[in-house]
Amino acid sequence: MERTQELFHTLHHLIEQHENRGIIAALNASGQLPHTLGDAAASLIASKGGHVAIVTGFFIPEGDKPRPETDGPVGAAQLAHFLELGGWDVELITDGYCGAATTRCRELAGGSYPIQILSEISAIEDLRSSWISNPAAPTHVIAIERAGPAASGKITNIAGDDITEFTPPLHRLFEREGGYHPTTISLADGTNEIGADNIKDALIAASFDVDFARLCAIEVDHLVLGCTANTCATAFAAAIAIEEPSLNPYLASCFDIELNKNMLNRLAAEQVALDGVLRKFSGNTVDGFDRRLLDRITREVIDTALTRSVGHSVE
């Protein structure tokens, strides 16, 4: 058990060490950085074969060609395929602004799971209501780079711009009411994303300059923070494989470096999704991070699970 915890700690270190918004550094310095990969993975393993819903898509309305960003749909497609091959009943959920990118990522990743594209509030509420009375409803709902509302109800991007009209309220699928309580997980890199409410008090205690107009007020059971949401998805899959080594072949194939490179290059060439920080179509970056750095992180994350060796680092 102690060795397994060391492996989870290594995974967290790998995805956290290059975060550049100061969130992780502030939480780490105050001793309040959440390390939840182990608990989140164990919870999913306990429901193996069950229904898992993955919610993704972050639309960038600015610029000549508004598109969703590559961080989120790529990791969601890879994680969904990994879980699908591992025996879970998986579906992706996104909105109309991000539907084409999410669908293309599924094609490129090789998955065959269904995708629900929901933009109308009534459709989202209908889905939520159907889950409450359905014994086959998701045991887990996972957000990957999905923005959510602040206490004011507004949803903003990292610059503080109001993007509420471009972000249909899929966060409703994470709110607890009506007697239905799936395990909720968020794989995130910013305070405007679902799950950020988990760290609100810790950020205040750490004297971090919290922008409450941007801080998402939606809480989850398990929040995983990293330099990008895609790397969080890789680390989550690795944590699951550490708990269930029979999934190692799927981890290696679904998060293959060449596959990831091809997905990003195709999304850029086809102008389906863009770098959310640089605001341009790029197969060489995600959220402003050089893909070569992210590739190194991915290799170390996967190697940690496959070799069960601790102490990996990417400088």
pTM for this entry: 0.96
Residue with tokens 């359905």: 134
pLDDT digits (tens, 9 = 90+) for 53-75: 999 999 999 877 999 999 999 99
Per-residue pLDDT, 268: 97
Do the strands 289-290 and 285-286 form a parallel or antiparallel pair, or are they unpaired?
Answer: antiparallel
Contact between 238 and 251 under an 8 Å Cβ cutoff? The reply is yes
Burial of 206 (0-12, 13-18, 19+ CB in 10 A): buried
Tokens found for residue 249: 């072949």
pLDDT tens string for the chain (315 positions)? 677 999 999 999 999 999 988 899 999 988 999 999 999 999 999 999 999 999 999 999 987 799 999 999 999 999 999 999 999 999 999 999 999 999 999 999 999 999 999 999 999 999 999 999 898 999 999 999 999 999 999 999 988 899 999 999 999 999 987 778 999 999 999 999 999 999 999 998 888 888 888 999 999 999 999 999 999 999 999 999 999 999 999 999 999 999 999 999 999 999 999 999 999 999 999 999 999 999 999 999 999 999 987 666 776
Q: Residue 187: enclosing H or E segment and its boundaries?
A: strand 183-188
Given the structure tokens 């679902």, which residue do they identify?
Answer: 194
Q: Could you give the domains of the chain?
A: 2-307 (3.90.1640.20)
